Amino acid sequence: MNRKIGIFSSAVNLAAVLGFAASMLAGFDAGNYFCSMFIAFSFVPMMCAYAHFAAKPRRAAGLSAAAFAAMYAVIVLLVYFAQLTEVRLGRLTGQAAAVVDFQQFGLFFSYDLLGYALMSLATFFAGLAIDACLKADKWLKALLLLHGIFFISCLIMPLLGLFQADSPSWIGIAVLEFWCLYFSPISILSFVHFSRCRG
């Protein structure tokens, strides 16, 4: 069962990342938010599978990955569910809209970046949890560890107020498409990794 959870969650994660990339290119915001929710839904069990299959000396790293993944999921699910309900349905006006509407780069946008900072920490610890012997696992470990670098930018940029509502939208799209290109191999290699696990 644990192996199947790892495999299935990796496959769903890949589909959600690709759906997110396609929605971004199409300018379909509701699709972005919906796919982002499924990135979170699949990411948590994927990180839990890393924790389960971690060797005993690496178990703390695996458990840390699962814990940070859970924190990430709570934050981004609150953000994206708000976008798909209250914001999309136009129930907010004035200052409330400025705080909650993701497109206005307010508080919920900052929460979203905090969530992705936690996701980056989760992947970093998942990389530490892997005992990489095969070439594919070595690539996976490197990608997971390097993804941890996003923690710094996702945490610092909102603190510096670098995002403004009048910023060109193509910059954000380009950054997110790059992230999708980076993260897709993690999902694929995770699928391969769990396919070889026993238990």
> For 4-45, how does the pLDDT look when each residue is reduced to its tens digit (9 = 90+)?
999 999 999 999 999 999 999 998 999 999 999 999 999 999
**Average pLDDT of every residue of the chain:** 91
Looking at residue 69, its pLDDT comes to: 98
Q: Which helix (H) or strand (E) holds 94?
A: helix 94-100
Flag whether pLDDT at 59 surpasses 90: yes
Q: Which pLDDT score, from 0 to 100, does residue 118 have?
A: 97
CA torsion sign, 119 to 123 to 125 to 129? positive
Comparing CA positions, the residue from 117, 106, 155, 24 lying closest to residue 16 is 24
The three-state secondary structure class of 91 is coil
Work out whether the CA dihedral 130, 136, 140, 143 comes out positive or negative.
Answer: positive
Q: What is the pLDDT of residue 83?
A: 92
Structure tokens at 174: 């380009």
Task: Show Cβ contacts of residue 122 under 8 Å, excluding neighbours closer than 6 positions.
Answer: 43, 47, 64, 65, 66, 67, 68, 69, 72
Looking at residue 163, what is its pLDDT?
67
**Model confidence at 182, in pLDDT bands (50, 70, 90)?**
very high
- pTM to 2 decimals? 0.91
CA distance 5 to 107: 34
What would the mean pLDDT of 53-79 be, rounded to a whole number?
96
pLDDT greater than 80 at residue 93: no
pLDDT band at 148 (very low <50, low <70, confident <90, very high): very high
Q: What is the pLDDT of residue 158?
A: 80
- pLDDT at site 167: 62
Best CA proximity match to 126, nearest among 195, 58, 40: 58
